[in-house]
A and B are shown apart, each in its own frame.
Chain A
Amino acid sequence: MLRDVSFTIADGDFVAIVGPSGSGKTTLLGLLAGLDTPSAGSVLIDDVNLATLSEDARARLRGEKVGFVFQSFQLIPTLTALENVRVPLDLRGDDSAGSRASELLARVGLADRTHHYPVRLSGGEQQRVAIARAFVNSPRVLFADEPTGNLDHDTGVRIVELLEQLNRDAKTTVIIVTHDLELAARAHRMIRLSDGAVVEDRVRGA
């Protein structure tokens, strides 16, 4: 699927991975986040080689250092907005989960929606809950898989602005997978994939 893919992403960077459907974007994202293991080669997050970790250890690492935003939001339907945001901290048994989650929901502009279930929220609102959830554990790196794919243009723009703002304020590294070139153009660095290989890697303004 992927071959000869090698790059390093700097702390606090905002990177877009682009490419046509079937170019290996999602596979790459899965490997970077430790959701999958490569048949050859290695992925390092914060100097930790993911290949040396067990599945549970990788899960724990994700819980501490990684945030996720999905194209289809992936909220848990039985939990309210606030409860959804709490999940990563709850899984770690963090006592500050409640206050931290409320704070983040307020930051994504959903302070008045904390007790709503996902079905009661619009697509944009759901994605904002998902972003709050992704940032609740103050991750070192946030992976976003087509975060605007299911949203209309204006909502999409607001979501990207939110990601940019959090990237700036919290110094979190953001890696977005997208085939939306307008969105990719806003990133600091763009990596283009084609047929499983990196065909372009440029930094904006460079």
Chain B
Amino acid sequence: MSLRWRTLTALAWRDTRTTRRRLVLSMSSIAIGVAALVAVDSYSADVVRSIHVQARGLLGADLSVTAHHPLPAPALAMLDTLRTRGAKETRVTTFSSMALVSGGKGTRLVQVRAMGAGAPYYGVIETSPTDKWKELQSAPNAIVDSALLIALDAKIGDTLSLGYARFSIIATLRNVPGDVGIAAALGPRVYIPDRYLAETKLLGFGSRADYESLVKLPATIDADVFAKSHRELFDSLQLRAKSVADTERSLTRSIEQLGRFLGLVGLIALLLGGTGVASALRAYMAEKIDTIAVLRCLGASAAQVVWMFIIEAAGLGFAGALMGVVLGVAAQLVLPHVLGTFIPVDVVPQLELIPALSGLALGTWVGILFALGPVLGVRNVAPLQVLRRDDSASAARSAWRDPLRIVAALVLVASVVAVCIARADSAIVGLWMSAGITAAIGATWFAAMLCARAARRLAQLPWRFVVRHGIANLDRPGNQTRPVVLALGFGAFLLGTLALVQGNLLRQIASTADASAANLAFFDVQTDQAAPLDSMFSARSLPSLSRTPIVPMRIAGYTSRKPKPPERRATDSARATGGEESRGGDRARPSWAVRREYRSSYRDSVASSEKIIAGKWWSTPGPDADGVFEISVEQSLAEELGVIVGDTITWDVQGVRIRSRITSLREVQWARFEPNFFVVFQPAALREAPQSFVLLTRVNDDGARATLQRDAVLRFPNVSTIDLSLIENAVGKILARVSLAVRFMALFSVVTGILVLVSAVAASRRQRVRESVLLKTLGATRAQIVRMLFTEYALLGAIGSVAGILLAVGGGWAAVHFIFKAPFTVSPLALTVVAALTMLLTIVTGLFAARDVFAETPMAALREV
């Protein structure tokens, strides 16, 4: 090599001299993608580090044992043994209840946490005024969320009633380790000392509560080892044990999943930026043909010329990536404000080296990879080009069969797959991810190509000249149709998908807006309370919309005739020949579906929120000759249990065995605010069983709704009410936060899309100025030139948004159908808004970037632009 590296680098640097401003543009399209990745990765590293530091505080103990029922005797014995070995132990009982304040107005459903002395062992619950936590245990005190005080118009010092007991509010909560901010939206928290719990008389029959034991272990006992070695005991007692390490593992896993999901959006932005670089470089190389020919004449080899431009591309990529890292580190500081309410720890941001360095490397690599295609194309430029000026586009055109360019394309694809796999849970997910990205990019690319083709045809039709010319521009040599449509299509795709998913989810929960639907629910209504409560409704001329019985029960055993995968068959047949019903005993650990407590109901008819998908609703009013009752099972549960129509399940209902046969499977719309059940019995089976009721009514007036709740709670302190409009609000708020986070990340892709659009327009600017000037010389007015550009960009915008919206309908359907398992409807309004925005953006950007066209006087035509 006669030219050394230093010389090549210097040449490369000087070569960019006149075009640096434009190169900065295409560089920044890489920067945004890198910024997104660095921000997400750094933030997720911040969170994981913070979780590690704060894990014990999150659990509040070394070991936590939880049950949905009071801890059984063997568990208490185990805890006693631990205590003799030096451990400390205390209890926390969590349940929902209605709270009201003397003198305040209204009632609120709250989450009560009755804390044993000493709890929590780790982590500090901060209060306002400060240090009031210590005083909680000294008297019947309560520390509550400030949201509750606002909702009930109460203040510190007021008396709070929970059931039959009264507590004095001594402080509000400022920070509870491990609680995510939005938890309070569903029900404000109330902390009370657990020795006054019994006085409330709230934990009656059918009430749901979590009973937790917090254990502080001596240094000699490892919580993780202890939890693992006692797993069987915990399982058999239906207890859930969690060590600090478990907490850390599960939190870290979910944070990493969140990071991966958000990182995917960043990755898309980066690849989009890469295509921007490729198109910018293609236009740039076309302009450099003369320079290349001169260099070749002066004795540079094809390889040296290629290396010179690769050095330029690497420099470009590096500078863009560096810019991205700086931006990303800055965005990392913004992310906590967007995601903060979902994160259970206090996050201390710091400069995370690994995400920063990998972002730098990835950005540079993407810059080089996408530049390779256009750069390798110039190997064909002959020195003769200096003498004989050919059409520059054809001089740089390289054969599809060019083996080097095919290799470059393969390396590009392999790199994308490798990055996807590295960022995904598993190779399979990574492959799917890369397939999805490729399919989306491929679809938009294909749409753009079709449009360029169609433009060639359309331009032949007898339109008005300016329109015809605008259309023809889409297919001009060196056109930027593909990168622009790709950028626009992707932006519209992301925004459209978000809008559709959000719209579909919001519509699901917006049922209380319907005037006939219930908006107030009463829970835990005991048998003798249902009738008086009903008459309270009728006294106020309110409708009693439904009275649904709830019977708690467990599975005692079941048979399954459903064919299983071969590896399980051996144990299945053993079970079948034994003729014994199993309790899910064919698995090493009985599944959650088998162990859980069921809150089932009975009724005569199918509810409006469900649909029979297999079998038939009750055929007889009573049990069959063997005393077996009919039941209907929700389809996903049936799948989880591995049962089909005809299988039998034996239930343990408060110690009484009830045998049942599955006669139908149902599909249930869970998202609707209606009492829905996994298992519904025919009425004869459960009518006499111990049960509680859920009553629904509708009160249109906010004030009347509050009074009714208050009166009901005063009369029946154990009854809980839920104002469904509050729930709807809370869910709406959560959804808004989630979509804010996703939209924040999508913003990176959209900004990249705009940058690609701007740099693509800038890349063809010279050609465009030359031509507009020529047209002016031939008599075109400014208005005519604006109309041509307008036609061109309006068409580009239309193509991009149509391609993007079609993809969005597919993406939205996939997300709603597969992830949220809800029915999908297309909202034309949202899509129209997205399409209009996309088109507007394109036209404005296009005309703005082409503003030089108007500034140039036609004189330039003579001066040879």
Contacts and interface: CB of A to CB of B under 8 A. Distances in A.
Given A87-B775, A91-B784, A29 B862 contact: yes
B771 interface: yes
Contacts of A74: 774, 777, 861
Given A26-B863, A93-B465, A76 B771 contact: yes
A26 B864 CA distance: 11
B779 A63 contact: yes
Interface of A: 26, 29-30, 33, 35-36, 55-56, 59-64, 66, 68, 70-72, 74, 76-79, 86-88, 90-93, 119, 133, 137, 145
B776 interface: yes
Interface string B766-782: 00000100111111111
A133 B778 contact: yes
B723 interface: no
Given A77-B476, A91-B465, A64 B861 contact: no
B552 to A, nearest CB: 76
A70 B477 contact: no
Contacts of B464: 93
Given A56-B783, A90-B465, A35 B778 contact: no
Nearest to A139: B779
Contacts of B465: 86-87, 90-91, 93
A76 B777 CA distance: 13
A66 B864 CA distance: 20
Nearest to B476: A78
Contacts, number: 81
Interface residues of B, number: 29
Contacts of A66: 779
Nearest to B459: A78
B862 A30 contact: yes
A133 B459 CA distance: 20
28 contacts: A26-B863, A29-B862, A30-B859, A33-B777, A35-B777, A35-B858, A36-B859, A56-B781, A56-B782, A59-B780, A59-B781, A59-B858, A60-B779, A61-B779, A63-B779, A66-B779, A68-B777, A68-B778, A72-B864, A74-B861, A76-B771, A76-B775, A77-B476, A78-B472, A91-B465, A91-B775, A93-B464, A119-B394
Given A29-B862, A30-B859, A93-B465, A62 B476 contact: no
A179 to B, nearest CB: 15
Interface string B853-865: 0000111011110
A86 B469 CA distance: 12
Contacts of A145: 862
A77 B771 CA distance: 9
Contacts of A77: 391, 476-477
B473 interface: yes
B243 to A, nearest CB: 71
B779 to A, nearest CB: 2
Given A36-B857, A90-B465, A62 B863 contact: no
B779 A91 contact: yes
B686 to A, nearest CB: 78
A29 B782 CA distance: 22
Contacts of A79: 472
Nearest to A134: B778
Contact of A35 (B771, B780, B857, B864): B857
A18 to B, nearest CB: 16
Interface of B: 391, 394, 459, 464-465, 472-473, 475-477, 771, 774-784, 857-859, 861-864
B771 A92 contact: no
A88 B473 CA distance: 18
Contact of A26 (B475, B776, B858, B862): B862
Closest 7 CB pairs of A and B: A63-B779, A90-B465, A56-B781, A35-B858, A36-B859, A78-B476, A35-B859
| Consensus secondary structure, chain A interface | helix
A63 B780 contact: yes
Contacts of B777: 33, 35, 62, 68, 74
A62 B477 CA distance: 28
Contact of B861 (A60, A70, A133, A137): A70
A93 B466 CA distance: 10
A42 B549 CA distance: 98
Residue with the highest number of chain B CB atoms closer than 10 Å, among A26, A91, A133: A91
A86 to B, nearest CB: 8
Contacts of A62: 777-779
Contacts of B774: 74, 76
A191 B858 CA distance: 24
B392 to A, nearest CB: 11
A36 B775 CA distance: 15
A71 B864 CA distance: 9
Contacts of B477: 77-78
Contacts of B778: 62-63, 68, 87-88, 91, 133
Nearest to B394: A119
Contacts of B394: 119
A56 B786 CA distance: 12
Residue with the highest number of chain B CB atoms closer than 10 Å, among A56, A59, A64: A59
Residue with the highest number of chain A CB atoms closer than 10 Å, among B779, B782, B863, B864: B779
Contacts of B857: 35-36, 55
Contacts of B472: 78-79
